[in-house]
Amino acid sequence: MTRTWTRGTRDEALSAIARTPRLVVALDFDGTASTFVVDPMAARALPEIVEQLERLSALDDTAVAYVSGRSMDDLRVITEHSDASVVALAGSHGAQYWYPGVGPADPEGRDEVREQLWEAARPIIDRYEGAELEPKTFGMGVHTRAATPEVEAGVFAEIDALVSERFPGLRRRLGHHVLEFSSRSEGKDAAMAALRAHFDATGILFAGDDVTDEDAMRVLTDADLGVRVGPGETAAALRVQNPQEIALLLEALADEREARRE
């Protein structure tokens, strides 16, 4: 059962994950580390979240990561990620990876039909005010953050019909004001497994706000902790209201993990 986390109140699940020997802290980006903005490429992590991730990454046996549906190139832009970064990245819903000290660890192959998909979808999207095409490594996203609900319903219906007719093998994902299609089947559940294996984690704290994040929530074990940001059905143990509260939760986690090591 999901319960609301309250700052200043001791939560045994948070304390337990703070005590795990080898911890991975993994955050979805849009709506979790960043508030939603109209231009998807203008999204940036809240400074207070960046601060807490830096604190956590400086601790022994503690790794931090962003897990996103964004393609790796775009994810590196919005996270302001450099080759010297200590933050791991899982992009394209777990089909692409970048690890500190290693660099890219994903196949460089590109989807054979993605250009055909973009070419067919662009004239449809261009007819809808506020809708935007996001080209992706293995497919595309249709963003409607600046559109009305009526526009969103219309463009999503037309794109669904297009893909059903011409590209039926693509995986469909629906999120907050975004409809995505990908030739890769990996979800954020795959990202949890990859991060766990790479860092030999004994526990993962994963936080996310959207339907696609539930793929990750559902594969977390009793040794892990899921945190849902905002409303909606979830398999997470804890819920916070917004990215600002994620920053506060990470601060509490860092405080407890630092104290454990003293």
- pLDDT of residue 106 exceeding 70, the answer is no
Q: Give the CATH fold of the 3-108+186-261 domain.
A: Rossmann fold (3.40.50)
- Among 108-117, 177-186, 192-201, 225-234, the least confident range: 108-117
Q: What is the pLDDT of residue 111?
A: 57
Hey, where are the domains in the chain?
3-108+186-261, 114-182
Helices (H), the chain: 12-19, 47-57, 72-78, 114-126, 149-166, 188-199, 214-217, 243-261
pLDDT-derived band at 1, boundaries 50, 70, 90: confident
**Does residue 236 have a pLDDT over 70?**
yes
Q: What is the largest CA-CA distance in the chain?
A: 61
pLDDT higher than threshold 80 for residue 218: yes
Per-residue confidence (pLDDT) for residue 184, from 0 to 100: 86
b/e sequence 203-228, b meaning 16+ C-beta within 10 Å: bbbbbbbbebbbbbbebbeeebbbbb
For residues 132 and 152, give the distance between their C-alpha atoms in angstroms, rounded to a whole number.
Answer: 11
pLDDT of residue 107: 54
Please give the CATH number for the structural domain made up of 114-182.
3.30.70
pLDDT band per the 50, 70, 90 thresholds, residue 110:
low
Spatial distance between the Cα atoms of 30 and 49, rounded to a whole number of angstroms = 13
pLDDT at 105 over 90: no
Residue 171 has phi, psi (to 5 degrees) of: -80, 130
Residues 6+ apart with CB under 8 A from 100: 63, 85, 86, 87, 88
134 has a pLDDT exceeding 70? yes
Classify burial at 249, counting beta carbons within 10 Å of its beta carbon; exposed 0-12, middle 13-18, buried 19 or more. buried
